[in-house]
Structure 1
Amino acid sequence: MNTVFFLLGANLGDPLKQLQEAVREMEARVGSIKQLSRIYESEAWGVTDQPTFLNLVTEVETHFDAIRTLQIIQSIEQDLGRIRLSRWGARLIDIDILYFNDEIIDLENLNVPHPYIQDRRFTLVPLCDLAPDYIHPFLQKNNQTLLEQCIDPLDVKLHSKQPYV
């Protein structure tokens, strides 16, 4: 069994609904959801001229390997209407693999741990809801330390609506 942490984000359409649908699809197609973070709202990172994002982190147990897991989440994104037009642009749904067990994977289409974990508060804040003591396998620091050292200036705040997804 593999343990995977995913970051989910949305800022187009009905972001809350998109996150709920993505979580349902992940449970049905990827594996058992062990934990869900709270939902957070943040300004866009990278390309800033776009609506604010809603983000959450999930911990999932799956029988699939990393490549198959990536294929499944990309299929979920596509089924939920994701169109890849620009890097860091607005989107109906985005699902990123943050950690896959404690593996370091460096492939053309998959880098794990996600290469920007330590640079993004919108990732680290919900990740610390679930796994503050989890050690980043490459940086050898836990998520809480990464958050404390993160220089990302963007504000990440708890979203006012916290539905059961």
Structure 2
Amino acid sequence: MAIAYLGLGSNLGDRKGNLEDAVDALDNQLDISVTRRSDIHETKPYGNTEQPDFLNMCLEIETRMSPLSLLETVLGIEHLLGRVRTEVWGPRVIDIDILLYEDLELQLDDLSIPHHEMHKRGFVLEPLSEIAGQVKHPGFDLTIDELKDKLTV
């Protein structure tokens, strides 16, 4: 089983309910088990700031899925929960990002592991540090707590 970390966000509709539905949908997958979850944090939008505030959280999962299969699964869950991709950094019912997958470094057209912007985003690092503070980011050789501290300096 591989350990991966996911970031979840929602700023449309029942934001908390959307997050809970996503956690349930992930945990109900045959090859995924949600093992830890952060608190839910309310955050300002990133990029396009003319939209409602987000609720964000992070999950630790154990999975038998490959990174690409996991990506297909999270995209399917987003679609199932009503996500429609209309604009980059736009409002969304649910967003599920693969942040880390073991100590893998992978750069494909559709998937970057570690997530290519996670180290710049407090709304990712804050909840991720609750469940994975001592986990090292393979690209920077810094822990999540160290990246979070660097961001707030």
Q: TM-score, normalised by structure 1?
A: 0.90
Q: Which one-letter code corresponds to 2:119 in the other structure?
A: Q
* Structure 2 CA distance for aligned equivalents of residues 32 and 133 of structure 1: 21
Percent identity between matched residues is 36
3-state SS of paired residue (1:21) = helix
* Structure 1 CA distance for aligned equivalents of residues 125 and 45 of structure 2: 15
2:4 maps to 4
* Equivalenced residues, count: 152
State the 4+ residue runs in structure 1 displaced beyond 6 angstroms: none
1:111 CA displacement? 0.2
Q: Give CA deviations for 1:50-73 in whole Å, capped at 9, x if unaligned.
A: 000000000000100000000000
Are 1:119 and 1:151, in contact at CA under 8 Å, matched by a contact in 2?
no
1:46 CA displacement? 0.6
Q: Give CA deviations for 1:93-117 in whole Å, capped at 9, x if unaligned.
A: 0000000111001000000000111
2:26 maps to 26
Structure 1: tracts of 5 or more residues without a match: 153-165
Q: Does 1:40 align with 2:14?
A: no
1:143 maps to 144
**Superposition pairs for residues 8-157 of structure 1, below 5 Å?**
8-29=8-29, 30-150=31-151
Are 1:97 and 1:112, in contact at CA under 8 Å, matched by a contact in 2?
yes
Q: TM-score, normalised by structure 2?
A: 0.97
